[in-house]
Each structure stands twice: as structure tokens, then as C-alpha cells.
């Protein structure tokens, strides 16, 4: 099922992976200040994502669901500790940048564990690839520990597939929506 969904959303994933912010960064045309902006927006996002994933954890029924959400929560919590050191916490959130975390909160409260896992397993590999590209470009110019952490993030897709298949859900809709919010994040950084 995951492969089918990824095939359905390949266009939006390509837009994210080949986003102008990423290509301009690789060309040396994005200043360090934009990564600082990324960090300040991630401070808001990751703070809320940790809470949303903890709600998902609290609603999980099976051990594999608990394990999946715990791993996701631990990764975000590690990121939050890094952001505590590197992010400017006084920058106001950009609504289009942080919309992702509000959708994740909605999923935490209204979706079933299969839908929640689907959203995370669809989004994280794409986010991870962009973090990897940016960490390589900006290493030595700015603290890249946050980007490196997520560049190395892995998802247990076998476990995810098992959890997803246990539930009925609006999987394609959720995949399209979470990735639309991801694209919105990257778009907002160029404004």
C-alpha cells in the first residue's frame, strides 16, 4: 500500500525534493540567515510535533504502535534539544511554515493510528533527504546538528505497513495533505 501511495504523490514529493530553496542552497545562493529562519520555524514546529506524537503514543493500542510513536517522539525530542541551543525563539511563526504541525495535531486528535503512522512514514523520508542536502551545503558555516539528526532519520517501514494495514483510513488524502503542508513550509522560507 505504501508504494502505491508514494506513486500517487510522487509529483508533490518531487516538488519538495527539487524545491527552489534546496537548489538555490546548493548553488550557494541562500544566505545562512535563511537556515536560521528555518531553525526558528522548526523551534515552533518541533515543540508542537513532540506533543502531537505523544498524544498519538497515548492513544496507541498495540506494542508496535507504541514502539513506532516512541521512536518518532525520541527523534523529535533530540531535535528540540538542539533547537533550544541554535534557534531564535523570539521569531514569530510564519503561518504557512508552521501549518504542518497544526495538521499533525489534528491527526493526533482525530485520526486512527494507521492514518497517523501513514502521515509520518510518508513525510519523514522526504524531510530527511532535504535535511541531508542542506546539512552538506551549510556544514562549517552554521551549526548543522539539527539538519544532520534528521538527515539520518530512518523509519521502520515494515512495522509501518503492518500498522497501516490494521486500520481503514483516508490514506491517500492524508498523504497528499501532509505533503502539501510540507511544500508550504519550503515555499514560506523563500518569501
Digit-coded pLDDT (tens) for 44-99:
999 999 999 999 999 999 999 999 999 999 999 999 999 999 999 999 999 999 99
**Rounded mean pLDDT, 17-39:** 97
pTM equals 0.96
**Rounded mean pLDDT, 125-136:** 98
For residue 51, the model assigns a pLDDT of 98
CATH of 2-189, one of 3.40.630.10, 1.20.910.10, 3.30.750.24, 3.40.50.970: 1.20.910.10
For residue 191, the model assigns a pLDDT of 84
**Rounded mean pLDDT, 107-135:** 98
pLDDT higher than threshold 90 for residue 115: yes
**Mean pLDDT for all residues in the chain:** 97
pLDDT higher than threshold 90 for residue 158: yes
Longest dimension (CA), the chain: 47
Domain residue ranges in the chain: 2-189
Q: Could you tell me if 176 and 122 are in contact, meaning their C-beta atoms sit under 8 angstroms apart?
A: no
For residue 121, the model assigns a pLDDT of 98
Amino acid at each position: 500500500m505504501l508504494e502505491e501511495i508514494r506513486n500517487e504523490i510522487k509529483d508533490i514529493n518531487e516538488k519538495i525534493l527539487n524545491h527552489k530553496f534546496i537548489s538555490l542552497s546548493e548553488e550557494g545562493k541562500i544566505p545562512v540567515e535563511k537556515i536560521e529562519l528555518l531553525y526558528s520555524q522548526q523551534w515552533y514546529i518541533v515543540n508542537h510535533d513532540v506533543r502531537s506524537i505523544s498524544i498519538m503514543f497515548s492513544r496507541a493500542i498495540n506494542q508496535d504502535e507504541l514502539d513506532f510513536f516512541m521512536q518518532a517522539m525520541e527523534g523529535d525530542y533530540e531535535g528540540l534539544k538542539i533547537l533550544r541551543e541554535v534557534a531564535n525563539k523570539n521569531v514569530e511563526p510564519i503561518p504557512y511554515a508552521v501549518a504542518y504541525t497544526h495538521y499533525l495535531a489534528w491527526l493526533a486528535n482525530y485520526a486512527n493510528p494507521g492514518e497517523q503512522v501513514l502521515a509520518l512514514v510518508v513525510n519523514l523520508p522526504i524531510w530527511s533527504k532535504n535535511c541531508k542536502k542542506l546539512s552538506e551545503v551549510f556544514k562549517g558555516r552554521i551549526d548543522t546538528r539539527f539538519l544532520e539528526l534528521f538527515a539520518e532519520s530512518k523509519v521502520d517501514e515494515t512495522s509501518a505497513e503492518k500498522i497501516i494495514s490494521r486500520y481503514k483510513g483516508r490514506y491517500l488524502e492524508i498523504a497528499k495533505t501532509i505533503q502539501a503542508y510540507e511544500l508550504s513550509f519550503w515555499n514560506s522560507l523563500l518569501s
